[in-house]
Amino acid sequence: MKVARSEVVITHTLLLIATAIAVFPFLSIVISSLRGSDSSGSLTFANYAEAWTRGGFGSALASSALVTTAVVAVTVAVACLAGYAMAHMRVPGVKIMLGAMLLGLVLPYEVTVLPLYQMLADWNLIDTYLALILPQIGLSVPLGVFWMRAFFASVPKELLEAARMDGASRFIIFRSVLMPIAGPAIATLVTILFLFTWNEFLLALILVPQNEAVQTAPLALSFFSGAARASDPNITAAAAVLVALPIVSAYVVLQRRLISGITEGAVK
């Protein structure tokens, strides 16, 4: 079917407008972060050095990397095992468990913050890495299990039956048959979890409010911008770029995998 030239022009025009609207805020922050404090309008990277030193973003970025790595690794491991079991094994009460996880997906996690704080306070975990890692694993597992269960359920049964006829156990089937072909689904899940976990702010604000050594990058940016916005907005903009740069870089590198994985999941 031949597409009219006018439709192509309109489509590209709308895409260009949407791209400009999406990119403009980030570009304006980058330009602001490069402006010097004088009125000459010269560009400088001094704001980044100042923000890095004053805001302690080295420690904050390291904390975010540690928390994100732990959450993603544990969630993916649990999701793969649970997704395989729920897709290809007889698990007692599987419907009840799926319903509970579905409730965990649709329930706004803001309503769980106070119970989480009280529970972690009883365990003496407030202002520790575990206060950030454990709740985010619990919040991420339902999504991961649903994601991997859907993928494993879409694998042709003939492939699994052939492996069983060759004498492969369930674990061998999981390790040697399903996991090698689950790479795209796992990569997409890792990307989604990485984006969500790195950007998490509310849990960090409530659960690690005092210990600067474990505060994540979004929380450190919030505290820094509140103190520095009035004095020098350009340094605040540089701090925002420092915090956003890892997540933007990861999205640019992984966007093709993320979009293709979501599209494949929707088709299936």
Q: Is position 19 within any domain?
A: no
Q: Give the C-alpha separation, 24 to 40, whole Å.
A: 23
Are the beta carbons of 234 and 43 closer than 8 angstroms? no
pTM of the model: 0.82
Q: Above 70 in pLDDT, residue 229?
A: no
Residue 27 lies in a domain: no
CB neighbour burial string for 11-34, b if at least 16 within 10 angstroms, e if fewer: eeeeeeeeeeeeeeeeeebeebbb
- Domain around 181: 46-267
Assigned domain for 56 exists: yes
Query: In the structure encoding, which two tokens stand for residue 241, read together?
Result: 């770029």
- Whether residue 211 is contained in a domain is answered as yes
Please state, in angstroms and as integers, the Cα–Cα distance from residue 185 to each residue in 70, 85, 139, 147, 151, following that order.
19, 16, 19, 8, 7
Q: Which CATH number does the domain housing residue 215 bear?
A: 1.10.3720.10
Question: Phi first, then psi: what are they for 155, rounded to 5°?
Answer: -70, 135
How many domains are there within the chain? 1
d(CA 126, CA 119): 9
- pLDDT band, very low/low/confident/very high, at 164 (cuts 50, 70, 90): confident
Helix (H/G/I), strand (E/B), else coil: 166: coil
DSSP 8-state class, residue 210: S
pLDDT at 76 over 90: yes
* Residues in CB range of 150: below 8 A, 6 or more apart: 83, 265, 268
Q: Which residues, including other chains, have CB under 8 Å from residue 218's CB and lie 6 or more apart? A: 64, 198, 199, 200, 201, 204, 243
Provide the 10 A C-beta neighbour count for residue 119.
13
Task: Give the pLDDT band (50/70/90) at residue 267.
Answer: very low
Cβ contact 73:141 at 8 Å: no
pLDDT for 21 beyond 60: yes
State the pLDDT confidence band at 46, using cuts at 50, 70 and 90. Answer: confident
Residue 14 lies in a domain: no
Q: Using CA atoms, how far apart are residues 166 and 71, in angstroms rounded to an integer?
A: 36
Tell whether 239 is covered by a domain. yes
Cβ atoms of residues 159 and 97 within 8 Å: no
Host H or E run for residue 150: helix 129-154
Q: Report if residue 103 sits inside a domain.
A: yes
The residue that leads in pLDDT, 126 or 100, is 126
Residue 105 in any domain: the answer is yes
